[in-house]
Structure formats: C-alpha cells, structure tokens
C-alpha cells in the first residue's frame, strides 16, 4: 500500500512537471524562433529605480538624483557619549533628491574623535 502511494505521488509529480514545461513552451507561439539575439533586443530587463524614505514626507519616494559619497567633518558636533562638549566627528555623506522635491543628506561611518 505504501509503495503504491509513493509511486502514484511520483507519477503525479512528473505529470505536473511536464505539463508546466509544455505550457511555458506553448506561450511563445509558433512564430517565435528562439534566437537569443532577437530576445535580448526586444525584452530588456530594466533595473529597479532606487527608493528610500523621505524624512520630510514620511513616505517612500523614488530617488531622482543621488550624489556621490564624500568625506565630511563637523568640528562642532555633540554625540550621545560626549553631548556636553563640542568635538570633531568625521563621516561619509550622500545627498538624495526625491520625487516629492525634498533633498536629504544621509550619513554613514560616523567616527567620534573625542580626546584626539
């Protein structure tokens, strides 16, 4: 009994696999001759446009312009550890301009130079 059920499950799985393969092959139609040069010209995959959260609107917006990463510093910064005294911080920054018209600066790799 167990052997026949396993065999039946295998046969049904093979039938399902072959039917899916034939459906995808039939979707091309008779006029389509498979030539990779023709397919790549007609059906080009476009990259996704980057999106990020706009801190002014609070909604996801498409990034229209993205600036390069640049090294920046702020000599009058106050971090959580040394919030009472101004000291130097260095960081990488980048600007995003969104579809809504707002521009946002993003900071990365913030380094505290307290006591240096």
- Residue predicted with more confidence, 31 or 68: 68
Helix %, strand %, coil % of the chain (to 5)? 30, 35, 40
| pLDDT score at 39 | 57
Task: State the pLDDT at residue 66.
Answer: 81
pLDDT (tens digit per residue) in 8-63 = 999 888 888 877 776 665 665 555 555 555 555 555 666 677 787 888 888 888 88
Which of 2 and 44 is assigned the larger pLDDT? Answer: 2
Domain ranges of the chain: 51-112
> What is the C-alpha separation between 23 and 28, in angstroms, rounded?
9
pLDDT single digits (tens) 98-111: 888 888 887 777 77
């Amino acid at each position: 009994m167990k052997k026949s059920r396993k065999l039946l499950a295998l046969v049904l799985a093979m039938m399902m696999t072959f039917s899916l393969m034939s459906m995808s092959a039939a979707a091309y139609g008779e006029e389509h001759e498979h030539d990779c040069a023709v397919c790549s010209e007609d059906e080009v995959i476009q990259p996704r446009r980057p999106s990020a959260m706009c801190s002014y609107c609070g909604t996801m917006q498409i990034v229209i312009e993205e600036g390069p990463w640049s090294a920046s510093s702020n000599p009058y910064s106050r971090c959580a550890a040394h919030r009472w005294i101004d000291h130097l911080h260095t960081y990488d920054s980048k600007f995003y301009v969104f579809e809504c018209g707002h521009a946002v600066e993003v900071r990365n790799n913030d380094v505290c130079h307290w006591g240096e």
